[in-house]
């Protein structure tokens, strides 16, 4: 059976402290799950106490509920969707801040988004976020143009 997914494996560079935390997690928790549990068979990272993978949306959202309790009130509701949107918005701002000669074509920007988010080549998510980014830039420019119109220039 071929397992299909919206995301693809990728290497994510992390700092040494984060690597140490993951190592501690695997040594102290993950390896001590019941022998031959689902997590060990499938390589699941998030599990319940019995080692069953927490793969459905309701379990993932439980993680976010716990995170919200720990960090307190935030400017937006922390969910997988809002974090993905916020991350893509921040990426758009970073791309816009590049000097004119170092900016990417829309195709290259879509490739970067897909790679960084782990989306497969068949995914249309990168194009969706690029369109949103383009709309935001266009709206901003339109607002600047409107702000430049002064009543004294209107005949």
Task: Give Cα separations from 50 to 13, 63, 64, 76 (angstroms).
Answer: 30, 17, 21, 33
Q: At residue 120, does pLDDT exceed 70?
A: yes
Question: 101 lies in a domain?
Answer: yes
pLDDT digits (tens, 9 = 90+) for 23-61: 888 788 877 878 777 776 666 666 777 777 766 555 666
Q: What is the pLDDT of residue 98?
A: 92
Q: Containing domain of residue 114, as a range?
A: 80-153
Question: 69 lies in a domain?
Answer: no
Question: 119 lies in a domain?
Answer: yes
Question: 71 lies in a domain?
Answer: no
The candidate with the shortest Cα–Cα distance to 77, out of 88, 90, 65, 87, is 65
Task: State pTM to two decimals.
Answer: 0.51
Number of structural domains found in the chain = 1
pLDDT band at 2 (very low <50, low <70, confident <90, very high): very low
């Amino acid at each position: 059976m071929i397992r299909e997914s919206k995301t693809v494996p990728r290497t994510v560079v992390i700092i040494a402290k984060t690597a140490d935390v993951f190592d501690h997690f695997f040594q102290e928790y993950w390896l001590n799950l019941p022998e031959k549990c689902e997590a060990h068979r499938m390589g699941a990272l998030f599990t319940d106490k019995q080692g069953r993978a927490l793969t459905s949306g309701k379990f993932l959202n439980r993680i976010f509920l716990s995170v919200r309790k720990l960090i307190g009130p935030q400017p937006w509701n922390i969910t997988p969707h809002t974090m993905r949107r916020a991350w893509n918005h921040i990426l758009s701002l970073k791309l816009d801040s590049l000097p004119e000669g170092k900016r990417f074509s829309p195709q290259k920007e879509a490739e970067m988004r897909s790679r960084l988010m782990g989306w497969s080549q068949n995914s249309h998510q990168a194009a969706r976020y690029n369109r949103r980014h383009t709309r935001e830039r266009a709206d901003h420019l339109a607002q600047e143009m409107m702000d430049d119109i002064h009543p004294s220039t209107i005949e």
